[in-house]
């Protein structure tokens, strides 16, 4: 039996999302940009999905821009705003590379985090004060994809509004929708990115909230062509994927109140068991400031890639860092930003639970992890 503890990388598709998607692939296959009745049927599916995503995200339907996933949504937010408004972008040092890379490409600036991985508000204040009206975008993720740390969005948004009132505030909320009510947590952000496969939808589909208002100029489209999404994102819509995303988002939102305490209890039992099995393991961050699903550790004297191989031999599927960085020779930039040494960062392990996780997954992981660490240390 496989025990899947890599839900932060991707989640299994929810049965309800699959049931939504399959008939749309075979029956409602018209191009929603067309004029005939088959096209209109597809367009109605899009309209319904847009309404659902708006309700879940605390937005208006017209503020939803469908994309091919979180990376495109992040790039559209960062690059699109800079192309529309000029100026510079600020982001934290622990952002996903989908934000970090376009900020770096535009010669923007990164803002430090504290040892626990949360934004250093004094550092943000300094950057905003130094750059003032030149700041056109500030991007702070809602939840870190490696450690699960929840960022202080309210404080960051208030500070941005005060010191750079013309700047757009964007949050990468890709890791957040399962565990936080984004209509509340990110309700004051100007732009919000989400990705379907992180909450039980299919891969390759996501959306960006672009709120109307005084900071609504832009973003300039990255993909130009058919003028879809009110000219903000060209390209024929993935109707089935978008509809499945909306189904998964609605189900996630409806189940969140029950799932969060259940998964939190599983995560806490898992984390406590890891610290018992490997007493010198270092748990990163503060559990009280994390989402329910992620337990993240560094193991001194252990290479995480070797540990993952041994865990897989016991049918435990986990990861060392962001799955987008798998195979990289450099350690996690997130842990480096938090001040962890290179050696400790090479021994990191992310165990991430999801809506389908069970006590059996926790039991199997705890049974395998201690012996695996001991075996690797004996080899070295």
Residues 6+ apart with CB under 8 A from 372: 307, 310, 311, 314
Tell me the C-alpha to C-alpha distance, in Å, between residue 10 and each of 196, 217, 318.
Answer: 9, 33, 11
Query: Which residues, in sequence order, are CB contacts of 80 under 8 Å at separation 6+?
Result: 218, 219, 220, 221, 222, 232
Angle of the 70-85 helix axis to the 97-105 helix axis, nearest 10:
30
Which residue carries 């991985």 as its tokens?
Answer: 117
Tokens of 198: 């992180």
Cα atoms in the Cβ-side hemisphere of radius 13 Å centred on 357:
33
Instruction: Clarify whether 324 is annotated catalytic.
Output: yes
Catalytic residue among 91, 178, 298, 324: 324
Taking the C-alpha atoms of residue 199 and residue 273, their distance in angstroms, rounded to an integer, is: 26
Torsion of CA 62, 219, 148, 58, to 10 degrees: -20
Q: Which residues are catalytic?
A: 324
């Amino acid at each position: 039996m496989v025990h899947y503890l890599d839900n932060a990388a991707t989640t299994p598709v929810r049965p309800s999302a699959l049931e939504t998607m399959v008939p749309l692939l075979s029956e409602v296959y018209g191009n929603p940009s067309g004029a005939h009745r088959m096209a209109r049927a597809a367009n109605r599916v899009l309209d319904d999905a847009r309404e659902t995503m708006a309700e879940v995200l605390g937005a208006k339907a017209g503020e939803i821009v469908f994309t091919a996933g979180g990376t495109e949504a992040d790039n559209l937010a960062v690059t699109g705003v800079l192309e529309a408004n000029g100026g510079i972008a600020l982001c934290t040092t622990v952002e996903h590379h989908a934000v970090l890379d376009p900020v770096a490409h535009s010669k923007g600036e990164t803002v430090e985090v504290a040892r626990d991985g949360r934004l250093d508000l004094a550092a943000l204040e300094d950057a905003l004060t130094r750059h003032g009206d030149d700041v056109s975008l500030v991007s702070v993720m809602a939840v870190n994809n490696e450690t699960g740390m929840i960022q202080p969005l309210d404080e960051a948004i208030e500070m941005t509004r005060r010191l750079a009132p013309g700047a757009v505030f964007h949050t990468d909320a890709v890791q957040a929708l399962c565990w936080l009510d984004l209509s509340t947590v990110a309700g004051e952000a100007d732009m919000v990115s989400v990705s379907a496969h992180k909450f039980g939808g299919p891969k390759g589909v996501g959306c960006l909230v672009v709120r109307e208002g005084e900071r609504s100029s832009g973003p300039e489209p990255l993909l130009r062509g058919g003028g879809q999404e009110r000219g903000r994102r060209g390209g024929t819509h993935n109707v089935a994927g978008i509809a499945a995303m909306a189904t998964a988002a609605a189900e996630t939102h409806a189940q969140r109140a029950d799932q969060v305490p259940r998964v939190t209890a599983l995560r806490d039992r898992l984390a406590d068991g890891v610290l018992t099995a490997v007493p010198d393991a270092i748990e990163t961050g503060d559990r009280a400031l994390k989402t329910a699903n992620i337990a993240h550790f560094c193991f001194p004297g252990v290479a995480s890639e070797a540990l993952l191989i041994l865990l897989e031999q016991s049918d435990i599927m986990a990861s060392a860092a962001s799955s987008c960085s798998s195979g990289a020779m450099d350690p996690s930039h997130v842990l480096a930003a938090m001040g962890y040494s290179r050696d400790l960062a090479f021994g990191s392990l992310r165990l991430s639970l999801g809506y389908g996780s069970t006590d059996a997954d926790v039991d199997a992981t705890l049974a395998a992890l201690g012996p695996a660490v001991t075996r690797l240390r004996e080899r070295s």
